[in-house]
Amino acid sequence: MMDKDPLISIIIPTYNEAENIADLIESLERNFKKHNLNDFEIIVVDDNSPDRTWKIVEELSSSDRRIRLVKRINERGLASAVLKGISESRGEYILIMDADFQHPPEIAPKLVKSAINENADIVVASRYIKGGGVEGWSKVRLFISKFATFLAYAAVRESRYTTDPLSGFFVVRKSFVEKRKLNPRGYKILLEIIARNPPWKPKVIDIPYVFGNRRSGKSKLGANTIVNYLLHLLDLSTITKFAIVGFLGTLINLGIMDLVMKLSKSYDLGSVLGIETSILGNFVLNDIWTFRKKLSGKAMARLAGYHGSSLGSAITTYVTMKILHVFLGINPLLGQLIGILAGFAVNYSLSSRVIWR
Ligand code: GDD
Ligand code: MN
């Protein structure tokens, strides 16, 4: 018989945590009981750890029906493990935390309590508010972490809802993540959850904690996590992608103009053909990359619309070039570049409003 759904699902991703997992589960059960929160399940998502972490969980789950093991055989990865746990969860509130005691189990019930009592969508355990911190980190490591947070703030507006968007220790209301596509390659799962948000602003609460030392075993996150993080940020940041496309378009524009001027001796023709070629190139790149997930209607209609929304910046480019050249004697290519920059802001605001809403 299936039990009724629990209020809380605690999700713990594990890879080689045999020395930590039993103690952590015991400590969680004790701490939740202390706060009179007994209606929970604990889901451990293990990727077939060589140290047989899963075996320990399997045994615990046979005597405690609140404990569940999800064992993945052919997959590896922290973010995808967390997403797997979410899809298996039955609770109204989902708590995600590490197995190595760097996320103190005493804080866990407080996060859930605050989500329930204050009706929050997300409660983040934060290292970067008063009362929070990190234990045993070098200045360099702290700087990298803060810089990574700064990049998130710059690239993804919604990450500013919390002081610690890179936290791996948080509660989220199930209904907030349920019907949305989250990318398992999105390695910072909280960032992914916040960034792919529904149109309304979620209620987010931060609770301070001190990120402690690992109790046993060692970290699994290596240097490639930094690269993955940057790629993830780029994936979430439409404006950055749009800017990169714009930069490439500028090169195309000037390159074609230069070529046409050499062939035809007409800078007017060069300007116009440069502009049109870059519009076509930008359209293709934005369509297959920048706004890939937001396509609506037919491609031809988007292309026509993009021409319409580019009209302002195209005219701005040509007119600026012409004026600078005729009245100030500025080189047409340089004039074109200045014109392109002037038209850029107009183009972004129109495109994101009209074509790729
Ligand atoms: N299932 C599964 N698969 N679990 C994994 C995997 C994996 O491939 N890799 C790591 N885990 C589990 C670990 O067993 C641990 O419970 C948790 O995920 C965190 O892994 P650590 O290796 O301890 O990561 P960390 O301490 O370097 O990083 C933590 O702190 C960062 C803050 O600086 C994580 O919580 C990060 O998300 C967090 O940003
Ligand atoms: Mn850790």
pLDDT in tens, 225-268: 889 999 999 988 888 898 899 999 999 999 999 999 999 999 99
Share of the chain above pLDDT 90, in %: 77
Q: Are residues 200 and 315 in the same domain?
A: no
Q: Whose CA is nearest to atom 35 of ligand 1?
A: 168
Domain total for the chain?
2
CA separation for the pair 338, 313 (Å, rounded): 11
Alpha carbon of 220 to ligand 1 centroid (Å): 6
Query: What backbone torsions phi and psi does residue 210 show, to the nearest 5 degrees?
Result: -105, 120
Instruction: Count other C-beta atoms under 10 Å from residue 204's C-beta.
Output: 19
Clarify whether residues 149 and 262 are in a common domain: no
What's the CA gap between 110 and 203, in Å, rounded? Answer: 17
Which residue(s) pair with 70 in the sheet?
Answer: 45
- The answer to whether residue 106 is domain-embedded is yes
Q: Does a structural domain hold residue 2?
A: no
Instruction: Give, using CA atoms, the residue closest to atom 15 of ligand 1.
Output: 98
Tell me how far the alpha carbon of residue 214 lies from the centroid of ligand 2, in angstroms: 6
Per-residue pLDDT of 207-225, as tens digits, reads 999 999 999 999 888 888 8
Report the separation in Å between the CA atom of 267 and the middle of ligand 2, taken as the mean of its atom positions: 60
Is residue 180 very low, low, confident or very high in pLDDT (cuts 50, 70, 90)? confident
Atom in ligand 1 nearest the alpha carbon of residue 81:
1
Do residue 204 and residue 59 come from a single domain? yes
Ligand 1 pocket: which of 45, 70, 75, 98 to mutate (most atoms <8 Å of CB)?
98
Q: Among 236, 270, 287, where does a domain finish? A: 236
Q: Please indicate, yes or no, whether residues 187 and 250 belong to a single structural domain of this protein.
A: no
Q: Are residues 54 and 182 in the same domain?
A: yes
Q: Which of 334, 250, 335 minimizes the C-alpha distance to 285?
A: 250
Say if residue 61 is in the same domain as residue 155.
yes
Residues lining ligand 1, CB < 6 A?
Answer: 13-15, 17, 45-47, 76-78, 81, 98-100, 102, 145, 166, 168, 219-221
Q: 242 and 170 share a domain?
A: no
Domain of 12?
Answer: 8-236
Of residues 278 and 345, more confidence is placed in 278
3-state secondary structure 92-158: CEEEECCCCCCCCCCCHHHHHHHHHHCCCCEEEEECCCCCCEECCCCHHHHHHHHHHHHHHHHHCHH
- Do 98 and 84 share a structural domain? yes
Q: pLDDT per residue over 278-321, tens digit each?
A: 999 999 999 999 888 777 788 899 999 889 888 889 999 999 99
In a domain, 1, yes or no: no
Vertex 55: Cα angle to 53 and 56 (nearest 5): 70
Task: Evaluate whether residue 225 is within a structural domain.
Answer: yes
Q: 78 CA distance to ligand 1 centroid (A)?
A: 6
User: Is pLDDT above 80 for 336?
Assistant: yes
Mean pLDDT within 143-163: 94
- Pocket probe mutation, ligand 1, options 10, 194, 221, max atoms within 8 Å of Cβ: 221
Asked whether residue 208 falls in the same domain as residue 247, the answer is no
Tell whether 62 and 197 lie within a shared domain: yes
pTM (two decimals)? 0.84
State how far the Cα of 215 lies from the Cα of 107, in Å rounded to an integer.
16
Ligand 1 atom at minimal distance to the Cα of residue 166: 39
Distance 13 CA to ligand 2 centre (A): 11
Q: What is the distance in A from the centroid of ligand 2 to the CA of 218?
A: 7
Q: Among 236, 257, 290, give the residue marking a domain's end.
A: 236
Same domain for 15 and 152: yes
